[in-house]
């Protein structure tokens, strides 16, 4: 599915923007594979924005939501393998930790070639990825996350994944990962992608997209997420974090993200996206997200007020 398939579910002005500004496909070599990165270059912009999708997404699905900031910032959206157009030799071996490593290496590579301030925007599972990459690299000016689902929190883990993935202890998940981690199954077997939107048609699109929620993903990708231990929020002291959580998200409720945010030592802020489900496609929340990015990019080096 291309970005236009997703853009049609957005309000008219956003749909027109998403289809009028087309990103350029670029490629980055990583560990023998090819990572696809959709880019909308803005060489005169004051900052750069990297948008990170979650476990049922890809750059095309995320582009309509992020496109309003194109031009105001240099925008890039990587496809995390095996999603989107990225390719690796052994997709069944991809684990959550590989995503963290890929993004850290990408951030460092991007910072070497362009030293403008870099903002990470993480959607869904991408929120914790953005947080972790900021913690590990020290090269990120701010993090904007629609969710902060810490898998160390049993409630967050149960919400993020269905069945045994969300309920059994981490040691048993490690056994499952060794035995069947490379088996690839439909994403809907592992996560409730049918709840990704308040619009049933948009949820169906996400669930059927062969580059996103319809892709057969390795079981080990989600078991490794469920077992991953992120940087403790009490140790995350430098990079400002803005939680832009969809207020009407019935897949991953805001309180799960808020209780992780409350523990972060760095400056934080909260913007609740009114009327939005997990995939933020509704007003007024969609404009609230865009305005948050406008403000942040326009004042990238300023302080984020305490939330």
pLDDT at 183: 87
Number of domains the chain contains:
1
Secondary structure (3-state) at 36: strand
pLDDT tens-place string over residues 263-288:
999 999 999 999 999 999 999 999 99
Residue 199 lies in a domain: no
Q: CA separation (Å) from 91 to 68, 98, 138, 184, 263?
A: 32, 11, 29, 9, 35
**Beta-bridge mates of residue 268:** 241
pLDDT tens-place string over residues 15-74:
999 988 889 999 999 998 999 999 999 999 999 999 999 988 999 999 999 999 999 999
Supply angle C-alpha 183, 188, 193, rounded to 5: 140
Average pLDDT, integer, range 79-107 = 95
Segments forming the whole domain that contains residue 110: 3-150+232-298
Percent of the chain with pLDDT strictly greater than 70:
94
Torsional sign, CA 198, 67, 161, 272 = negative
| pLDDT band, residue 305 (cuts 50/70/90) | very low
Residue 202 lies in a domain: no
DSSP 34: E
Tell me the backbone φ, ψ of residue 176, rounded to 5 degrees.
-60, -40
Residue 173 lies in a domain: no
Residue 189 lies in a domain: no
Q: Give the whole-angstrom CA distance, residue 29 versus residue 109.
A: 11
Q: At which residue do the structure tokens 């996400």 appear? A: 206
Q: Find the CATH number of the domain harbouring 281.
A: 3.40.50.1820
Residue 165 lies in a domain: no
Secondary structure (3-state) at 241: strand
Tell me the backbone φ, ψ of residue 118, rounded to 5 degrees.
-120, 125
Q: At which residue do the structure tokens 């990583």 appear? A: 30
Residue partners of 211: CB distance under 8 A and separation at least 6: 1, 58, 60, 79, 83, 84, 85
pLDDT tens-place string over residues 137-167:
999 999 999 999 999 998 888 887 755 555 6
Q: Give the whole-angstrom CA distance, residue 246 versus residue 252.
A: 9
pLDDT tens-place string over residues 167-184:
676 677 777 777 778 888
Pick from 256, 265, 258: nearest CA to 231: 265
**Does residue 306 have a pLDDT over 50?**
no
Pick from 63, 57, 55, 80: nearest CA to 22: 63
Residue 94 lies in a domain: yes
pTM of this structure: 0.93
Residue 29 lies in a domain: yes
Residue 109 lies in a domain: yes
Helical H runs in the chain? 3-7, 12-20, 59-66, 96-113, 126-137, 154-160, 164-167, 170-180, 187-190, 200-208, 219-227, 254-261, 285-298
């Amino acid at each position: 599915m291309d970005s236009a398939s997703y853009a049609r579910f957005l309000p008219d002005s956003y749909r027109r923007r998403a289809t009028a500004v087309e990103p350029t496909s670029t490629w980055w070599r990583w560990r023998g594979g090819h990572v696809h990165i959709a880019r909308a270059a803005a060489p005169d912009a004051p900052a750069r924005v990297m948008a990170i999708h979650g476990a049922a997404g890809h750059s095309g699905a995320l582009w309509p939501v992020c496109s309003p900031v194109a031009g105001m910032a240099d925008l890039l959206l990587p496809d995390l393998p095996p999603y989107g157009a990225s390719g690796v030799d052994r997709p069944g071996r991809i684990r959550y930790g590989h995503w963290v490593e890929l993004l850290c290496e990408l951030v460092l590579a991007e910072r070497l070639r362009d030293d403008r301030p870099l903002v990470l925007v993480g959607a869904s599972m991408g929120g914790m990825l953005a947080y972790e990459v900021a913690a590990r690299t020290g090269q990120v000016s701010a993090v904007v996350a629609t969710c902060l689902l810490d898998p160390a929190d049993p409630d967050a883990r149960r919400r993020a994944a269905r069945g045994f993935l969300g309920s059994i202890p981490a040691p048993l998940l490690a056994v499952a990962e060794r035995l069947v981690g490379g088996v690839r199954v439909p994403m809907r077997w592992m996560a409730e992608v049918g709840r990704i939107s308040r619009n049933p048609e948009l949820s169906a699109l996400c669930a059927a997209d062969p580059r996103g929620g319809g892709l057969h993903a390795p079981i080990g990708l989600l078991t490794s997420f469920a077992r991953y231990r992120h940087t403790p929020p009490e140790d995350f002291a430098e990079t400002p974090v803005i939680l832009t959580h969809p207020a009407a998200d019935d897949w991953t409720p805001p309180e799960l993200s808020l209780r992780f945010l409350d523990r972060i030592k760095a400056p934080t802020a909260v913007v609740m996206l009114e009327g939005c489900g997990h995939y933020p496609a509704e007003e007024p929340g969609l404009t609230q997200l865009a305005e948050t990015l406008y403000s942040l990019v326009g004042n990238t080096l300023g302080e984020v007020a305490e939330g």
